Structure 1
Amino acid sequence: MNLKAVKEPQKRINTNYLSSLNIQSYGEDNLYPNKLAEVVASSSIASGCLSRYADFIEGNGFNSQIISDYKINKSGDTLDDLLGLLANDLAKFGGFAIHANYDVLGKIRNIHHIPFITTRLKEPNDYGKVTEIAIHPNWTGDETRNGKRVQVNKSNISFIHVFDPNSAIPEIEEVGINDYKGQVLWYSRNGNMVYPLPVYDPVITDMSTDEGLANVRYRNARNNFLPSGALITRKGTDIQENYFDDERRSYGHESYESEYSPVLKNLQGDFNACKIVEIEIGADEQSPEFISLSTNNYDKEFTVTADSIIDNIYSAFNQEAFLAIRKGKLGFSGDILADAYSYYSGKVTKEQRAISRALLSIFKNWYEQPFGELTSDTFKIQSMLYGSTNNTN
């Protein structure tokens, strides 16, 4: 087939310029990462894979306990705390942001984590360069302070310069040290000043389908008809339902006149499973008759779909080895798990290097040198090993 004949796929992210806010929209409605977080949270499979992905990026912390325990701001946050936050953002959104405060000499005095979901890119200048990062506590407009919503408008958006230590002193001289907001080191896995797509973006529809199947399974158990049968007896036109009261440990019954809806309602759900409903009819010649009732179990209808969804989600996270262990294809032993850990640790080295390089660029301009001579391995992150936990340096 000729490429021209292939249906053009939809763009994953539509970036527009919101002149009213002076930013580039992150998705058509500027809420791509917010909706992304909701979709992931609604899928148990995706949430589990994402949690493992973040854990492996964080690994076992830095090589040095001195580095891990080093305090980076007046709040007492350590580099180890920062690492966990950056790893989580990088796994969930494909990017992270760090705020750097400078002193009058142009040296970085403290740094803070900025939730990546709160950041947006400012419109490029005349040279096509993004010079500032826009920050708002909640771009959905649902954030409240003192009982009032924080509107999404220019007055409530903080615009902070992009990280560039060489520009710090000129920027400080322009506004004064007391009014200087510092700089933001903003990283995207998709390139310089480009909104990132997380590794699992191609399977977002599968994650949403996983939520839908969970709803079907829930309703199947809670709302399906699960009686064992119906007993047809003689009488008038009354409808009578017999039941066993678990609390009183005795049998009882409820009668209805010509009303089937209350009976049907009481036959639905897991708490009403295996009941016997009694229906009285007026034909005197007819003997009692028991009718076995069967129901439609919808779980089996979606078995193939559920399996393919699980495969797709695990594949997007490059976690096929853990899926194979889960399904019993590789067995279950310490050696097999150790191999899976070693394999997946190699899959997250790119993400770990991104964090290490960011911290190296910051501490090259730190007001002191607490770690001696800085090298490319100073902030190297230890790989996650089977049987270990995070931050056991």
Structure 2
Amino acid sequence: MKTYLPQIERRILVRPNQTFGILNYDMDNAYPQRMLELVAQSPTAKDCWNKRTKFIGGNGFEEAALGKQIVNDKGLTVAKLLKAIAKDKALFSGFAIHVNYNANFKIASVNYVKFEDVRIGDTDNTETSDKFAIYSDWGRKTWKNIMRSKITFMDKYNPNELVIKQQVEAAGGWEKYKGQLLYFNPEINDYPLIEADSVWEDFETEAGIKIFNNREVTTGFLPSTMLFMQSRRKEADNSSNIAHGVDAPSQLEKDLGIFQGAKSAQKIIVIEYEDESAKPEFQPYAIQNNDKLFESTERSVEARIIKGFSVPKELINAEKTSGLSNGSEKKQAISELNDNTAPDRVELSEALAGLFCHYHTDINQTGNWSITPIPANIADEVAGIKAGAAINQLLQSTLPTPNKIAALVYAYGFKQAEAEAMCA
């Protein structure tokens, strides 16, 4: 008897790219670009990403004045830098920051670099080892081919004075020195997967459902129909297409195409025919009930995406419970996501503290780089205000008392005795 372990294919394959002296980020070297496109097409995935970004960045730094500090000549503030790297951290689990030094070996400027634009230098290549390659079009959306002349190689972040001096000499002086790149990556000599990589196929599924719904609307929800008609003779306007074996559409086919669609749902089409044998026949055919199938699929896909991002469902698709109970559930969900993202906030705080302690000026004299989490009491405030206003309006209305009591019990979740006491 033979046994074997089923092989599970790796989500990404990292291979040296000798042409550019880098390690490919998956076979096509465009894994982050593909994931960004899939997330952009999936409403649930994009919402989850935004929620994680918001909670990782929190309400900014505890030191309010710290966020206003400008760290480069382009006007980048520490608060904007935090939001940018929090967004990358929420999806890619990493981020990148470019720094440059002055002649005193102190950081003179800090710049944000998109995580998806960075590639690790080939560790077996002496020229690119311990370097990072930055290029804005690894996914080849703008240009068909990658232009090596536009790839910028930067040294790995190391604030040691001797290391910086060696790098400056190797670059040919301060004028040619490009600085260093702080590449925060949870993996070692490897690329990270996105936060919800285990369910990225569901991003594509949700995007497909969206396309299906759009197609149903643009075709006016018309049932699938087969058209039977006599074989038409070759028309004069097809003479130019004979060589290609393609017939130009007849006027009837053009009219039927115009007839479809949401904007044409109220139009009337008139079809003329010479005899009964030339009358076109429209015959609908039964197909599976796609509406119900897609509806159940959409719910399950949405649930898996939310789970993949580790975001409480109450913050993405809140249950339609009463206003009061929903406030309590949302408060608990906020606390849960705060706990889930607490390590991310600590990592950002420690990274920024370690970076700016080498800055040419002291922008944070207290040394406190802690990030304030999202307060959970906002759920109580929002839900409480809305529910309270609605209840007061109900009590002051001219509805009969039994109706008011029923509304308090069934709509707002009060007990019978409580509702009767409020209406007394």
* Corresponding position: 1:312 with 2:308: no
Q: Which residue of 2 aligns with 1:181?
A: 178
Taking a change above 3 Å as real, the CA distance of residues 132 and 266 of structure 1, as seen in their structure-2 partners, is: closer
SS of aligned partner of 2:290: coil
Q: State the Cα distance separating 1:300 from its structure 2 match.
A: 1.2
* Mapped partners of 2:40, 2:316: distance in 1: 23
Separation in 2 of the partners of 1:348 and 1:178? 41
Question: Could you tell me whether the CA contact under 8 Å between 1:225 and 1:295 is conserved in 2?
Answer: no
Aligned length: 342
Alpha-carbon distance between aligned partners in 1 of 2:168 and 2:138, rounded to the nearest angstrom: 29
Corresponding residue of 2:134: 135
Corresponding residue for residue 333 of structure 1: 326
User: Against the structure 1 CA distance between its residues 279 and 296, is the aligned structure 2 distance closer, same or farther, given a 3 Å change threshold?
Assistant: farther
- What is the alpha-carbon distance in structure 1 between the residues aligned to residue 284 and residue 16 of structure 2? 64
Structure 2 residue 388 is the aligned partner of structure 1 residue 382: no
Matched, 1:164 2:158: yes
Q: Which residue of 2 aligns with 1:54?
A: 53
Tell me if the contact between 1:45 and 1:310 (Cα under 8 Å) persists in the aligned partners. Answer: yes
Query: Against the structure 1 CA distance between its residues 130 and 59, is the aligned structure 2 distance closer, same or farther, given a 3 Å change threshold?
Result: farther
In 2, Cα distance between equivalents of 1:330 and 1:317: 26
- Separation in structure 1 between the aligned mates of residue 94 and residue 62 of structure 2, nearest angstrom: 23
Gaps of 5+ in 1: 144-148, 228-257, 284-290
Tell me by how many angstroms 1:272 deviates: 4.3
Q: Give the corresponding residue for 2:412.
A: none
Offset at 1:275? 7.1
CA–CA distance in 2 between the matches of 1:32 and 1:49?
A: 19
1:360 is matched with: 353
Change (3 A) 1:39 1:369: same
Q: Does the Cα contact within 8 Å between 1:226 and 1:267 map onto a contact in 2?
A: no
Looking at structure 2, the residues matched to 382 and 55 of structure 1 have their Cα atoms a distance apart, in angstroms, of 11
- Alignment-mate amino acid for residue 28 of structure 1: M
Q: How does 1:221-240 map to 2 (within 5 A)?
A: 221-223=217-219, 225-226=221-222
Q: 1 or 2, which has the higher helix percentage?
A: 2
Shift of 1:87: 0.8
* CA-CA distance at 1:140 after TM superposition: 3.1
C-alpha distance 278-5 of structure 1, shift in aligned 2 (>3 A): farther
The counterpart of 1:344, out of the listed 334, 337, 346, is 337
Letter of the 1:381 partner, please give it.
I
- Asked if 1:30 is matched to 2:22, the reply is no
Alpha-carbon shift at residue 329 of structure 1 (Å): 6.2
Cα displacement (A) at 1:207: 0.5
- How far did residue 137 of structure 1 move? 2.0
SS in 2 for 1:165: coil
Superimposed CA distance per residue, residues 83-120 of structure 1 (whole angstroms, 9 cap, x where no aligned partner) = 01101111232211000111112111111001111110
| Paired residues for 1:208-357 under 5 Å | 208-223=204-219, 225-226=221-222, 261=253, 264-265=256-257, 268-273=260-265, 298-322=290-314, 326-328=318-320, 333-357=326-350
Mark the runs of 5 or more structure 2 residues left unpaired by the alignment: 224-249, 276-282, 380-424
Deviation at 1:337, TM superposition (A): 1.9
Structure 2: how far apart are the matches of 1:12 and 1:336? 35
Specify the code of the residue in structure 2 equivalent to 1:178.
E
Change in CA separation of 1:6 and 1:311 when aligned onto 2, cut-off 3 Å: farther
Give me the whole-angstrom Cα distance separating, in 2, the residues matched to 1:388 and 1:133: 42
Structure 1 position 73, deviation (Å): 0.9
**TM-aligned CA distance change 1:49 to 1:325, over 3 Å:** closer
CA change 1:213–1:292 in 2 (3 A) is closer
Contact 1:58–1:83 (Cα < 8 Å) also in 2: yes
Task: Write the deviation string for residues 64-94 of structure 1: whole angstroms up to 9, x where unpaired.
Answer: 1121111111112110010011011112322
Change (3 A) 1:388 1:134: farther
Verify the 8 A CA contact 1:330 1:336 in the aligned structure 2.
no
TM normalised by structure 2 equals 0.71
Deviation at 1:151, TM superposition (A): 5.4
Q: Give me the whole-angstrom Cα distance separating, in 2, the residues matched to 1:272 and 1:292.
A: 20
Shift of the 29–281 alpha-carbon distance from structure 1 to 2, 3 Å rule, reads closer
Structure 2 CA distance for partners of 1:363 and 1:292, relative to 1, 3 Å: closer
Aligned to 2:385: none
Distance 1:367 1:15 in 2: 38
Q: Measure the CA separation in 1 of the matches of 2:316 and 2:178.
A: 49
Letter in 2 for 1:336: E
User: CA 1:328/1:119 → structure 2, altered by over 3 Å: closer, same or farther?
Assistant: same
Q: TM-score, normalised by structure 1?
A: 0.77
Match for residue 199 of structure 1?
Answer: 195
- Distance of 2:376 and 2:270 partners within structure 1: 59
Distance 2:88 2:77 in 1: 17
Q: SS where residue 190 of structure 2 aligns?
A: coil
Q: CA RMSD in A?
A: 3.4
**Aligned amino acid, residue 328 of structure 2:** D
Instruction: After TM superposition, give the deviation of residue 268 of structure 1 in Å.
Output: 3.1
Structure 2: how far apart are the matches of 1:18 and 1:126? Answer: 10
Structure 1 counterpart of 2:146, from 149, 152, 172: 152
Partner-residue secondary structure (3-state), 2:13: coil
Are the equivalent residues in 2 in contact too, given 1:101–1:111 (CA < 8 A)? yes
**How many angstroms apart in 2 are the aligned matches of 1:271 and 1:126?**
60
Closer, same or farther in 2 for the Cα pair 1:69/1:223, shift >3 Å?
same
Counterparts of 2:316 and 2:60, CA distance in 1? 27
Report percent identity of matched pairs: 28
Whole-angstrom CA distance in 2 between matches of 1:330 and 1:195: 45
For 2:284 and 2:135, the matched residues in 1 are separated by: 61
Contact 2:25 2:191 in 1 (8 A): yes
Task: Answer with 15-24 or 152-161: which moved more.
Answer: 152-161
Measure, in 2, the Cα distance between the counterparts of 1:121 and 1:296.
49
